Amino acid sequence: MAGLINNLLIPFLVFQNICLGFRSPLSLFKRYKDTTRSLSSECLGSDRPVISLGLSDFALDIRMPGVTPKQSDTYLCMSVPLPVDDEAYVVDFKPHASMDTVHHMLLFGCNEPSSTENYWDCDEGTCKDKSNILYAWARNAPPTRLPKGVGFRVGGETGGRFFVLQVHYGDISAFRDKHKDCSGVTLHLTQQKQPLIAGMYLMMSVNTVIPPGEKVVDADIACHYKRFPMHLFAYRVHTHRLGKVVSGYRVRNGQWTLIGRQSPQLPQAFYPVEHPVDVSYDDILAARCVFSGEGRTTETHIGGTANDEMCNFYIMYYMEAKHAVSYMTCTQNANPEMFRNIPQEANIPIPVKSDMLRMTHGHHEETKDTDKSSLLQQAKKEEEEILDQDFHIEEAVEWPGLDLKLGQVSGLALDPENNLVIFHRGDHVWDENSFDSKFVYQQRGLGPIEQSTILVLNPSNAKLLRSMGKSLFYLPHGLSIDKNGNYWVTDVALHQVFKLGADGKEALLVLGVALQPGSDKNHFCQPTDVAVDPITGSIYVSDGYCNSRIIQFSPNGLYMMQWGEGTETSLGRARPGQFHIPHSLALIPDFSQLCVADRENGRIQCFRLETGEFIREIKHKSFGRQLFAVSYVPGGLLFAVNGMPYPGGAEPVQGFVMNFSTGEIIDTFIPLRKSFEMPHDVVASEDKTVFVGDVHARVVWKFTSTEKMEHRSVKKAGIEVQEIKEPETIVEARLKNNPESTDPLKKQEKQHLVRQASTGVSFVLITTLLIIPVVVLLAILVFIRWRKTTVYGADGDHKLDSSSGRILGRLRGKGGGGLNLGNFFASHKGYSRKGFDRLSTEGSDQEKDEDDGTDSEEECSAPPPPPAPSSS
């Protein structure tokens, strides 16, 4: 009997010993959670400030513990200890604040906060020892993302062990209802060593005085750099209300190189340094803030209140780990004479729309109810920006929309109810007989299209909800829908742009002259697309096949400005602002930008809405020679489709998903049923449902986001979903090394927080894997016991007992510490962070001959210099 008990005890101890080794990753934070303070019930998401993101990564939620400031210009501080003892690295930030309540936030790292209270007045100080700025936020800034391999070092022997959050509450009128504020920031940290260490360089004027009524006042800052090389990747500007423009430069051998230039009245985010800038020993870092004292009756000084001013230029940089310095400052002007040679751009204010001014200063002055509503919607949209890159786009093969009987599909859009709207050509086609050499439509005798050209479908089952647009159009092309549900369409045969009411029965606004191509303010030449700014109502038209320009109109259709020119093919590469068929528009209100699919140049160009100023180009070799359409989804995703490769080209026809901030391709997709022939337009919703219309195949495909298999196994292994009622409590917890897939996010799931349960690694999975060898071991021991009893009789019991004692002795000797997870954690690879990576500009722009078009459905462009690209 004793032998049988020993036989049962052996596998039990083996099982217990292994299970003790598989401790939950969250057990790492048990000491931290046991000492976490009690927070206000209004601070949703703050009751569990540490959230596991894997074996070596975790999120740390740093929030004000439900505070109500008593007077304006209050600075409140609170601290959070680093929840691990070893060195860690901050690799991502997500702010949770709105300008309606918070003027700005700063996050410091240090070893000893100025107070041990839940929060305190920052007049007492932030830290007792040296503090480093890790992050700064103001004016509804979007999230800051660090480049791959770069992190802020914290903890260990050299990094700070506490985070101190400082929140400046400017005007407290928003607290009339006595609500409690829980603003803050969520950090993504990893314990994997980073080869490059990030730091902050702050350039700040401390003695500028702005006289009342003075039109232009410059504040200049300059310092000699005396350290190891650093590489600059992001910048941020900060002033109060009087600031017009802030510019930063590296000066080397008298040459001024721009780091960044921005209006401080726009969202004060960290913007990427567009062209990489390195700073070496003895370079000069210089910055200028331009102010205006107009409207003030007294002098304005540098200070901490909203009525004072500030002149700050923040630079995020990285250095090799062995030379890294985490924080540097410059508060002097080492060489005033050098500013005589500062580039003229530093003296030119960046214009800001009045709507944006009301947004950025809305908590200091009264605004109309409609403005407040718009601001709240915008704030909510920005708070919900989560760049979830862990997904893959695949065709929804069960969607019946592929069987619709359509003409050439030229445009797609989603209406305010998220219904799919299709713009197609019925029985008309665009072929080589449609236009003459002067772009005049040659088939007017056919009359307008008799079928309904605008179809509204249920996006789930493709059921037709309503149709419109009979006998209105000749050759439909572009389609967009404004926030009020009005349809904006272009007709390349009529050379016109139309605004139709939601019922589609009559035109509310018509731009252009019917059937008359032209290049002046009143005419278009085959306009391709239209976009409407949801904030200002301004209208933007891409014009088009035979013009190469973007035209801006006022909400009531008055010409305002235009930009763009034709591509000079002899130069080889198209310059910024040059177009070869501006084919599709995507308006990005979050960043006040307009992006254009520059079709025959195979690229995306983005411009400032206010000025038409070129910002950047997104171009990849995989685009090939043509890029037909682009669509933006709030939250930071761009979708695009390309065209058929030219002869000799290898790039397939496909759809693309890109990170808007970096231009990086996150995913590509193709249909499973049929094949792309000439995908002409693309539109996507916030849940990553994508529709693509093909002008040749005459179909519309539906694609949805699907989750990666690796991610599904983790979810099955113990992930709980907790509903959160406020969008600012969403934690970005899906950062992976190879971002390619995720489940479709339904609307009701957008405000859910994915958290790993306290069991960490799946207990069920581990138990299943362990029971199998335990059962086998038990069976072997029982068999041995039976055999020995049979062969040796009673002596067998003693022999087995002796053997069991030796096994138990070995187990006790090795099992004291359980399974060592240290190596397991150290070997885990973190996710790939692509923020601020350089945009790919690969690919040739040399013209190639195109295949002869033989399809009767072929669209033909107006004939630019041969070889002519196919039109659509």
Beta bridge partners of residue 302, listed in sequence order:
309
The two structure tokens encoding residue 461 = 């089952």
From the list 472, 471, 557, the residue with the least C-alpha distance to 511 is 557
Q: What DSSP assignment string belongs to 41-63?
A: TTSTT-SS-EEE-SSSEEEEEEE
Q: What DSSP assignment string belongs to 344-408?
A: GGGGSPPP--HHHHHHHTGGGS---HHHHHHHHHHHHHHHT-------EEEE-TT-GGGG---S-
CA distance 432 to 108: 65
Q: How many helices (H) and strands (E) does the chain have?
A: 8, 49
Beta bridge partners of residue 260, listed in sequence order:
248
- In eight-state DSSP terms, residue 67 is B
Report the relative pairing of strands 578-579 and 565-566 from DSSP bridges.
parallel
3 state DSSP class of 218: strand
Residue entry with tokens 């619709």: 404
Helix (H) or strand (E) holding 193: none
Report the relative pairing of strands 699-706 and 690-694 from DSSP bridges.
antiparallel
Reported as half-sphere exposure (CB side, CA atoms, 13 A), residue 266 has a value of 25
Looking at the chain, how many residues does it have? 872
Residues 6+ apart with CB under 8 A from 175: 68, 69, 101, 169, 181
Q: Which are the catalytic amino acids?
A: 103-104, 166, 168, 238, 240, 310
From the list 561, 436, 576, 421, the residue with the least C-alpha distance to 500 is 421
CA distance 172 to 691: 45
Beta bridge partners of residue 467, listed in sequence order:
455
CB 272 within 8 A of CB 242: no
Burial of 787 (0-12, 13-18, 19+ CB in 10 A): exposed
CA distance 317 to 326: 9
Q: How far apart are the first and last CA of the chain?
A: 86
- In eight-state DSSP terms, residue 561 is E
The two structure tokens encoding residue 86 = 């070893």
Burial string for 790-824 (b: 16+ CB within 10 Å, else e) reads: eeeeeebbeebeebbeeeeeebeeebeeeeebeee
From the list 146, 152, 180, the residue with the least C-alpha distance to 66 is 180
Q: What DSSP assignment string belongs to 464-486?
A: EEEEE-TTS-SSEEEEEE-TT--
Residue type, 579: F
3 state DSSP class of 644: coil
Residue entry with tokens 């306290």: 758
3 state DSSP class of 17: helix
Beta bridge partners of residue 520, listed in sequence order:
none
From the list 92, 51, 85, the residue with the least C-alpha distance to 155 is 85
Cα-Cα-Cα-Cα dihedral of 687, 693, 694, 697, to 10°? 100
From the list 834, 636, 840, 837, the residue with the least C-alpha distance to 735 is 834
Report the relative pairing of strands 255-262 and 539-543 from DSSP bridges.
unpaired
CB 261 within 8 A of CB 246: yes
CB 81 within 8 A of CB 162: yes
